[in-house]
C-alpha cells in the first residue's frame, strides 16, 4: 500500500500531497520500530526497521529532483537519520548528506525551519562522533538558535550534545543553563574544570557512565582531563606567585605530585613529567621541562593559553 502511494506520488508534478507523504513516512518508521520490538520480545530477528529504511530511501529518491516536491526531501532525510541512528548504521547517513549539501538542486534555506533544525541536530551528532568539534558546534548551535523555544525537550536534546562540544572547545556553560534544562549530569564536570579537580571529574564520569555511553559522549568528556590538568597547573602557579613571586614561573614536579596526591592521584615523578610533556605538546602549557632539575619552566607571557573556541590540538 505504501509503495503504491509512493509510486502514484512520483507521477504527480505538483507537491499537493506532501503532507500526506510526511504522515506515511513517519508512520512507516514508527510502526517498523514497534514491530521490531515485538519481534525481539518473541525471540525473532528484528528486520522491519531496516526494510523501512530502504523504502524511505526510495521516497528520498522521488523527492531528490527538480520541481516543487524537492522541498520535502529534508523531512524524509530526517526520518532516515532517525532510522539509521536507531539501527546503529549511522555510516549510511553520509550518502544522504552528500545529496543534500552538494546537489545544486537544493537550497538549504528553502526547507521548512522544523526540518532544518532536525537535520542540523543529527549532522551535529555525527560530527561529535567524528570528533570534529568546530563543525559540531556550528551545526548544534544552529539547531539550538532556531529551535522553537517552547520545545524544552528538544532544546535539552540539543544541549545534551552541545554542552560537551562547548567544553571541548574551552567554553564553560553557566550553571543556570544546566539547571533550567535539567542537565545535572554535567554539573560536577563543569565544577571539575573550574577547580582543576581531576578526582571530581573522574567521579562524575563514573556516576553518569551509563548515560554518557548511551549518548556517545563519554570519550569526549573523558578527554577533558587535559583541560583539568591545565587548570590545576594554573592554580599551583598562582599560589606559587603569591608565596614566591621570583620563582613563580618554575614549577617543581614534586610540588605538582604533592597537589595530585591531595586529590588522591598518587603519581611518581616520571608520570607527572609525562603529563607535563603532553600539556606542553598540546599547547595547554607554554614552557619547557628541565629534566635534570625536575622543574617545569613556564613562559613569562601567557603560560596557560586559552582554547578560544578551538579544540585541544591532536
Confidence of residue 217 (pLDDT cuts 50, 70, 90): very high
Confidence of residue 151 (pLDDT cuts 50, 70, 90): very high
Q: Give the contacts of 223 (CB within 8 A, at least 6 positions apart).
A: 168, 312
Same domain, yes or no: 218 and 231: no
Question: How confident is the model over 153-172, as a mean pLDDT?
Answer: 96
For the chain, list the strands marked E by DSSP: 250-252, 287-290, 295-298
More confident residue, 65 or 129: 129
Same domain, yes or no: 239 and 294: yes
3-state DSSP assignment of residue 111: coil
Confidence of residue 12 (pLDDT cuts 50, 70, 90): confident
CA distance 135 to 128: 8
CA distance 43 to 155: 37
Residue range(s) defining the domain that contains residue 142:
2-222
Average pLDDT, the chain: 90
**Does the pLDDT value for residue 204 go beyond 60?**
yes
Query: Which helix (DSSP H) or strand (DSSP E) does residue 22 occupy?
Result: helix 18-41
Q: Residues of 128-157 as b/e, b for ≥16 C-beta within 10 angstroms?
A: beeebbebbbbbbbbbbeebeeeeeebbeb
Q: In this structure, is residue 190 part of a structural domain?
A: yes
Same domain, yes or no: 166 and 249: no
CA distance 30 to 60: 17
Single residue among 191, 206, 222 that ends a domain in this structure: 222
Share of the chain above pLDDT 70, in %: 93
Q: What does the pLDDT read at residue 109?
A: 84
**Does the pLDDT value for residue 292 go beyond 80?**
yes
Cβ-contact 72, 63 below 8 angstroms:
yes
CATH code (residue 286): 1.10.10.10
Same domain, yes or no: 47 and 163: yes
| Total domains, the chain | 2
Q: In this structure, is residue 303 part of a structural domain?
A: no
**Does the pLDDT value for residue 1 go beyond 60?**
no
Q: In this structure, is residue 286 part of a structural domain?
A: yes
Question: How confident is the model over 17-28, as a mean pLDDT?
Answer: 88
Grid cell locating 230: 591545565
CA distance 286 to 219: 26
Q: What does the pLDDT read at residue 188?
A: 96
CA distance 5 to 101: 28
Maximum pairwise Cα distance, the chain:
82
Q: What is the per-residue pLDDT across 231-242, written as a single tens digit (0 to 9) for each?
A: 999 999 998 888
HSE-CB for 165 with a 13 A CA cutoff: 26
Same domain, yes or no: 252 and 185: no
Q: What is the DSSP string of 28-72?
A: HHHHHHHHHHHHHHTT----HHHHHHHHHHHHHHHHSSSSGGGGG
Same domain, yes or no: 63 and 167: yes
Question: How confident is the model over 262-277, as a mean pLDDT?
Answer: 90
**Does the pLDDT value for residue 66 go beyond 70?**
no
Q: In this structure, is residue 308 part of a structural domain?
A: no
Amino acid at each position: 500500500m505504501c509503495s503504491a502511494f509512493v509510486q502514484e506520488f512520483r507521477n504527480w508534478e505538483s507537491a499537493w500531497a506532501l503532507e500526506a507523504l510526511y504522515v506515511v513516512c513517519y508512520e512507516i518508521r514508527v510502526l517498523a520500530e514497534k514491530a521490531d520490538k515485538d519481534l525481539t520480545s518473541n525471540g525473532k530477528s528484528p528486520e522491519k526497521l531496516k526494510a523501512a529504511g530502504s523504502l524511505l530511501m526510495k521516497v528520498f529518491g522521488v523527492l531528490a529532483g527538480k520541481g516543487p516536491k524537492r522541498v520535502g526531501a529534508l523531512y524524509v532525510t530526517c526520518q532516515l537519520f532517525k532510522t539509521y541512528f536507531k539501527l546503529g548504521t549511522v555510516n549510511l547517513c553520509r550518502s544522504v548528506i552528500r545529496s543534500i549539501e552538494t546537489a545544486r538542486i537544493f537550497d538549504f534555506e528553502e526547507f521548512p525551519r522544523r526540518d532544518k533544525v532536525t537535520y542540523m541536530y543529527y549532522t551535529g551528532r555525527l560530527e561529535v562522533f567524528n570528533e570534529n568539534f568546530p563543525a559540531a558546534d556550528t551545526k548544534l548551535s544552529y539547531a539550538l538558535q532556531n529551535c522553537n523555544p517552547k520545545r524544552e525537550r528538544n532544546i535539552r536534546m540539543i544541549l545534551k550534545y552541545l554542552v560537551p562540544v562547548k567544553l571541548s572547545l574551552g567554553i564553560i556553560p553557566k550553571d543556570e543553563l544546566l539547571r533550567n534544562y535539567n542537565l545535572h549530569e554535567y554539573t560536577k564536570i563543569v565544577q571539575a574544570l573550574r577547580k582543576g579537580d581531576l578526582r571530581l571529574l573522574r567521579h562524575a564520569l563514573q556516576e553518569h557512565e551509563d548515560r554518557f555511553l548511551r549518548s556517545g559522549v563519554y570519550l569526549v568528556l573523558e578527554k577533558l582531563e587535559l583541560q583539568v590538568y591545565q587548570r590545576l597547573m594554573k592554580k599551583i602557579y598562582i599560589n606559587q606567585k603569591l608565596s614566591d613571586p621570583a620563582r613563580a614561573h618554575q614549577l617543581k614536579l614534586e610540588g605538582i605530585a604533592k597537589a595530585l596526591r591531595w586529590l588522591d592521584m598518587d603519581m611518581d615523578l616520571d608520570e607527572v613529567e609525562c603529563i607535563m610533556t603532553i600539556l606542553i605538546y598540546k599547547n595547554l602549557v607554554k614552557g619547557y621541562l628541565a629534566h635534570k632539575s625536575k622543574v617545569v619552566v613556564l613562559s613569562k607571557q601567557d603560560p596557560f593559553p586559552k582554547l578560544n573556541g578551538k579544540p585541544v590540538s591532536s
